[in-house]
Structure 1
Amino acid sequence: MQLVTMRLILRPWRESDAESLYAYARDPRVGPIAGWPPHTSVEYSRQIIRNVLSAEETYAVTLKSENDRAVGSIGLLRGTASNLPLREKEGEIGYWIGAPYWGRGLIPEATEELIHHAFVDLGLENLWCGYFDGNEKSKRVQAKCGFTYHHTVPDVPWPLMGDIRTEHFTLMTKGQWLVQKAAHL
């Protein structure tokens, strides 16, 4: 499945995306703030595509103007697929984009499309997002897309990075989304 916005195509990851993934995911400014270590090789990136990014409802973020090159990722984990204690009709959205594309509004655009897909096509009732202390870019994306602060969990052991983190959670209900959507018509 593909999701299309004005500037983006969100499509499934392919193993042939490994070089592009490595080009952006090796940057230490990208992964650690999102909770994963920088990629160390193209082969490591290929393994991440096979084992993580090939999950259902996980999409490569590609710009229409850049020949289908993957420049980021966005995904939706539903119900028990999430690490959060979600019910069947709930989902968690996660995302990142390569540093050269920061500040262009691309991830909010991708997130808004995934929100629409989650509520309209998949029939979800609640969407969650999280961000770690210090990840102001992710916090801004969530606020811009209409998520509202819900709660904070301090002292979360984070094995992927071998540290302890504070995680903040935001929520959007389908009802809130419908009100926002109506206000922008």
Structure 2
Amino acid sequence: MNAQSDECGQNGGRDGGDTPVLRTTRLILRAPRLEDTAAICEIANNRRIAEQTRRLPFPYGVEDARQWIEGTAGPAETKYLIVRASDGAILGAAGHGFMNGGEMEVGYWIGEPYWGNGFATEALRAVIDRIFSDGKLDQLFGRCRVSNRASRAVLVKCGFQLVGAGMSDSRVLSGLVPVEEFQLERSVWRSLKKWGAA
């Protein structure tokens, strides 16, 4: 499944930034807008989601959503809302940004009512396609908590390979949690695209 980038339909948060709109069979990935605040709060205000991410707070309120929407997203970080194309429902979020070592890392979360439908995999594939299609990067990284088997499965379905383990900050748990670290090489992505597996 290929992601389509809508270069003419560029939109961003508050400032009309340059986040491209990505389209898949069932999803639209676009920049968050202030008018999305209530819907984001409704789906993100979930401790089970926050415990599996590094940055999401719990409880998640209006000010948290506004800060995320209005936060700087430039060349170093791109954020998307994951929206169901059929009805405009906000399902979660995805994005990518550079880590301290200069490597590009991807991240995502899906609202609990939508778990188990393949939305995270579909969204992540769209983000990966967008990143690798510009030809600038040769590898991507992703992490998930050791206890998060669903997120691990998403990374593996997208072609990521386990390369290590470590510890990562958890905002909601106020400390370090064990994580698995994954890597996806451009050559693997290209092969999977040729085989129709990504």
- TM-score class, shorter: 0.7 to 0.9
Alignment of 1:96-175 (within 5 A): 96-121=109-134, 123-154=136-167, 156-158=168-170, 161-175=173-187
Amino acid in the other structure paired with 1:110: A
Partner SS state of residue 93, structure 1? strand
| Superposition TM-score, scaled by structure 2 size | 0.81
Give 1:157 deviation, angstroms. Answer: 4.7
Return the match for 1:51 from 71, 85, 91.
71
Alignment of 1:26-41 (within 5 A): 26-35=45-54, 36-41=56-61
CA contact (8 A) 2:50 2:172 kept: no
Which range is displaced more, 33-42 or 91-100?
33-42
Give 1:72 deviation, angstroms. Answer: 0.6
Gaps of 5+ in 2: 1-19
CA contact (8 A) 1:22 1:41 kept: yes
Match of 1:75 in 2: 95
Partner SS state of residue 71, structure 2? helix
Give 1:108 deviation, angstroms. Answer: 0.4
> Deviations along 1:149-175, whole A, 9 cap, x unmatched?
001114x45455312211211001001
Give 1:122 deviation, angstroms. Answer: 5.3
Give 1:41 deviation, angstroms. Answer: 2.1
> Deviations along 1:16-62, whole A, 9 cap, x unmatched?
1111111111111111111232244223322222226x554211100
Which range is displaced more, 108-117 or 41-50?
41-50
Match of 1:177 in 2: 189
CA contact (8 A) 1:92 1:128 kept: yes
Q: Percent identity?
A: 29
Match of 1:64 in 2: 85
**Cα RMSD after superposing both structures:** 1.9
Partner SS state of residue 6, structure 1? coil
Amino acid in the other structure paired with 1:66: D
Name the CA shift for 1:82/1:160 in 2 (closer, same or farther; >3 Å). Answer: farther
Gaps of 5+ in 1: none
CA contact (8 A) 2:160 2:183 kept: yes
Q: How many residues align?
A: 175
CA contact (8 A) 1:151 1:170 kept: yes
| Superposition TM-score, scaled by structure 1 size | 0.86
